[in-house]
Amino acid sequence: MSRKILCVDTDDRVGAVADALDSEETMTTVQATTVEEARTALDEQAIVCVVTEYELADGSGLDVVRAIRETAPQTPCILFTDVPPNEVETDSFEEVIIEYVNRDLPDAHDRLAFIADDVINHSAQVGFLKPDDEQERLDALSRYDVDELPVQESFERLTDLIASHFDAAISFIGLLEEDEENFLACHGGDWDSLTRENTICTHSMLQEDVMVVEDIREDKRFSQNQQLENLGIVSYAGANMTTPDGHVIGQVCLIDHEVRSYSDAQRHELEQFAETAMEILQLRQSLLESRSLEVAQ
Amino acid sequence: MSISSEETFATGSLPLDPIQKGTSILLTGEDADALESVFYKLSAPQADERGVIVSTDESGRSTLRSLDRVSRGSKSRSSVLAAAGSGRDDSVETISDLSDLTMLGMTLSSVLAESQQLEPRFRCGIYLCSTICSEVDDVRSVYRLLNSNFLSELRRGDGLGVCAIDTSADIGANMQSIVAGMKTSFKVHIDVEKTGSREATLSISGLADSDDSVTVAL
């Protein structure tokens, strides 16, 4: 599958940058020579990576980076420039992370193509940490044919029960895909999916035990997260859904609009609800596979 | 099957087997002196290597001296991005604002690329990542920095990376939870516990052929 890269550079140099990237079989390029043209391209096309010069006619490469971070924050960006880092004006971009490639290096264009390929393949600029076995985890998740499993009613009943049991405003069951969390059932909210770096579950899944955040406004992993604030989330508790071979594929969670804590006994109960959700998913999948086998025979 | 020395990094005076290239180490501990001692032993570059250190709490010169104390000559093979002191040395870049992760990330990428033009093998260390976390408003940008500039460089090149966290620091988030999360993204976790005036115990996970716990002199 071809991946589209936006190259933003001056008239006389953009062609050479695009040529370097086009030499990789799996990449195609879109060219722009101004921030405005870049914004238009980002609006109109599915861009998987941005390569930009710093000095542009109507602004800087960081303006281009900011434009894509507003709409697709996980998209990797590379600043390909001969302007040294200490001459780049970063005052209003303090937490915008980008890759920097010095175009004065002797192998600069080869290096650029190598790095672009690498950052795309590894989603290398996401704002969350991935487990070291992320690919195996995603493989394990893909073995559950969720779209074909009649789990929604069971999970809706379960999230109703969980919310009632804990007297929580919201209870949900979510699966953690590569880039987003998909909610299979949600009591108290109408949630479909969230970008993974905006979810608390992407942190919770890295812990073996139940993760509790009593007040997200006091935790710098979440306090600046506008999406969580918009959803009215104040406190969180999440337990892992773990496959029989040990991969965490999802979470069973409690959300409240006020600060709250959970006792050890409550945390244990939440873990049991997560195990129950996993068992339902596992049994439904086994049943689907058995029926498919019967039909094949 | 033996692994050639080009595939591994020596661990100096630490009683650990050589560590495979590409390895990322999360180094944690609540005693700053013990943590610092182990950090420099892991991060000091040997004869055929370059070192790049992000130093958040000490000047570039002081960092270079610390490297040289652990492995003589490593000072001349190292570059430091220092958030303290001034950059009066060719091998020191001064980071004027540690919360400016855009600048820090670009400078780290640039210095690592220059280092690899001199020697492909490199050691990259961050001392202390907990200080960076405490300086920023949003810890997600630290994760993005680690993903983009630290873990990626180790994946792409012949490097060893050490990221140190002072677990006694106030970073504005649950430290235990942060460390639990970071442990899963790094290949190796070493926790340093000071057990005597010049002695510490290292609790190790993820390092093949090494004991779970070793005692080291500081």
- The CA distance from A155 to A159, in Å, is 6
Asked if B172 and A219 come within 8 Å (Cβ–Cβ), the reply is: yes
Q: Using a CB cutoff of 8 Å and minimum separation of 24, what contacts does A140-146 make? A: A140/A243, A140/A245, A140/A247, A140/A249, A141/A175, A141/A176, A141/A177, A141/A247, A141/A249, A141/A250, A143/A285, A144/A175, A144/A249, A144/A281, A144/A285, A145/A285, A145/A288, A146/A175, A146/A182, A146/A184, A146/A281
User: Is A130 a residue whose pLDDT tops 60?
Assistant: yes
Interface of B with A in 114-173 (CB under 8 A): 114, 117, 133, 136-141, 143-149, 151-152, 155-156, 171-173
Asked if A122 and B152 come within 8 Å (Cβ–Cβ), the reply is: yes
A265 Cβ neighbours under 8 A, 6+ residues apart: none
User: Is A212 a residue whose pLDDT tops 60?
Assistant: yes
Q: What is the DSSP letter of A15?
A: H
For B103, the closest of A90, A101, A211 (CB atoms) is: A90
Mean pLDDT of B172-193: 93
Better-predicted residue by pLDDT, A59 or B211: A59
Q: Of A197, A167, A200, A155, nearest to A180 (Cα)?
A: A197
- The CA distance from B102 to A85, in Å, is 9
Cβ of B20 under 8 Å from any chain A Cβ? no
Q: What is the pLDDT of residues B48-91, one digit of tens each?
A: 999 999 999 999 999 999 999 999 999 999 999 999 887 667 89
Instruction: Name the residue of chain B whose CA is nearest to A223's CA.
Output: B138
> Which is it for strands A211-213 and A235-242: parallel, antiparallel or unpaired?
antiparallel
What SS3 state is found at B72? coil
What SS3 state is found at A235? strand
The complex scores an ipTM of 0.86
With cut-offs at 50, 70 and 90, classify the pLDDT of residue A1: low
With cut-offs at 50, 70 and 90, classify the pLDDT of residue A73: confident
Asked if A90 and B137 come within 8 Å (Cβ–Cβ), the reply is: no
Residue ranges of domains in chain B, CATH in brackets: 46-186 (3.40.50.300), 192-218 (no CATH)
User: Is A87 a residue whose pLDDT tops 60?
Assistant: yes
- The CA distance from B27 to B192, in Å, is 7
User: Is B2 a residue whose pLDDT tops 70?
Assistant: no
Residue ranges of domains in chain A, CATH in brackets: 3-121 (3.40.50.2300), 134-296 (3.30.450.40)
Contacts of A197 in chain B (CB under 8 A): 140
The single-letter code of the amino acid at A36 is E
Write the Ramachandran bin of B209: left for phi over 0, alpha for psi from -120 to 50, otherwise beta.
left
Contacts of A118 in chain B (CB under 8 A): 152, 155-156
- The CA distance from A103 to A175, in Å, is 41
Contacts of A90 in chain B (CB under 8 A): 100, 102-103, 106
Burial, A239: exposed, middle or buried (Cβ in 10 Å; 0-12, 13-18, 19+)? Answer: buried
Better-predicted residue by pLDDT, A273 or A22: A273
